[in-house]
Amino acid sequence: MTQETSYRKTVAQLRQAASLFWPAELAAEASRMSVVPLLLETQDAFLSLLGFPLSHPGRLQEIIDAADLPANLIVKHLMVLTDFGGEKLQRVNDNFALLFPDGELEYAWQGQNFAYSFQVLPVNGRLSNQRLGVDGKHLAKPKVLDDLLTDVIMLLVFGGASRNENTASVLAACEVSEYLGRAEELRTFVKQRYIWVSRITTGSRTNTLGQLAQQFVYQFLQTQLRLSDVLLTTGGSLPGISHDEQNERLTSFDIVVQRGEKYVAVEVSFQVTTNSVIERKAGQARARFHQIDGAGYRIAYVLDGAGNFQRENALSTICAHSHCTVAFSRAELEVLCQFIREYFT
């Protein structure tokens, strides 16, 4: 095995080093960024979850528990969808005995009556966004479904269907239950009610989570490479590396590191939920590798996120056609730095 080959991980090795969900390295950044990019990126997964056919409303908890999305992120989606945020939830908590004198939510769904017994609500103190893990800082830290989050989910989904008229009027916006298992109607409902913000209106693509990960890697390389005469660019290209044989359109890469006539292309992909981005990168990996390797350059990949690991074939293709593959953590990015140093020197 050559020295460079040792920097190529298998999918199993990559998984062992992976963070899978947003790691502590991004928690501080995530707390300063809007939650809108996170909601946009996971919106389709959220809709798929609610659109899953239900034979009984109690099955919703099972589906959520088995979902790839963290439970606190699901709660945040529901809060935005219903426009029922932290202050309104606090008022429900403060007036819980009036709204639910028996500690139960009695509701109608698909022509039948059901009852849900609250497990934790009302809570002592504040029912804050921080307590639910839905503020910017804590949303970056995945929470599993617990009794409190289950109570809040049932409230937001079925509250508007309460058989108590006063309770139903207070929770009128919490009408998601009407659309459970009805994918097309649900999507129409979401378009009407959700803050469906396009990537244009968020101001910039740099606010997406993928771009946030790319920025983190870029800044890490800037500060930790510790080599003179190194130029880093985002969205840069490598001389002679193009989409076609005529060299008319140079291929752009997430990050390009240059020292003299040596170049390293770095591609970054961190997907918490699965999508086709990693498949696209895999489809390009073989041809890109042979072009880059033939020119004497190098290509490295930073790959992480639970969604990416659901596309094992794509990951395997990328790992096999890379000079270096690392996961997303400080320790792994230091491995990337070491790889680049060895190539440059």
pLDDT in tens, 285-298: 999 999 999 999 99
Residue 260 lies in a domain: yes
Residue that terminates a domain, selected from 131, 162, 193: 193
103 and 239 in a single domain? The answer is no
- Give the domain extent around 63: 35-193
DSSP string, 96-115: HHHH-TTSEEEEEETTEEEE
Residue that terminates a domain, selected from 134, 165, 193: 193
User: Tokens at residue 165, please?
Assistant: 């008229």
Most confident of 131-140, 153-162, 199-208: 153-162
The closest of 304, 277, 301 to 289, measured between CA atoms, is 301
> According to the model, what pLDDT value does residue 198 have?
37
Residue 285 lies in a domain: yes
Residue 30 lies in a domain: no
Residue 85 lies in a domain: yes
239 and 320 in a single domain? The answer is yes
> According to the model, what pLDDT value does residue 5 have?
52
Residue that terminates a domain, selected from 193, 216, 235: 193
Whether cis (ω within 30° of 0) applies to the bond prior to 101 is no
Based on the structure, what is the number of domains in the chain? 2
149 and 218 in a single domain? The answer is no
> According to the model, what pLDDT value does residue 120 have?
96
pTM (predicted TM-score): 0.55
158 and 211 in a single domain? The answer is no
Is residue 9 helix, strand or coil?
Answer: coil
Residue 242 lies in a domain: yes
> According to the model, what pLDDT value does residue 205 have?
36
Is residue 304 helix, strand or coil?
Answer: strand
Quick one: which H or E segment has residue 222?
helix 209-224
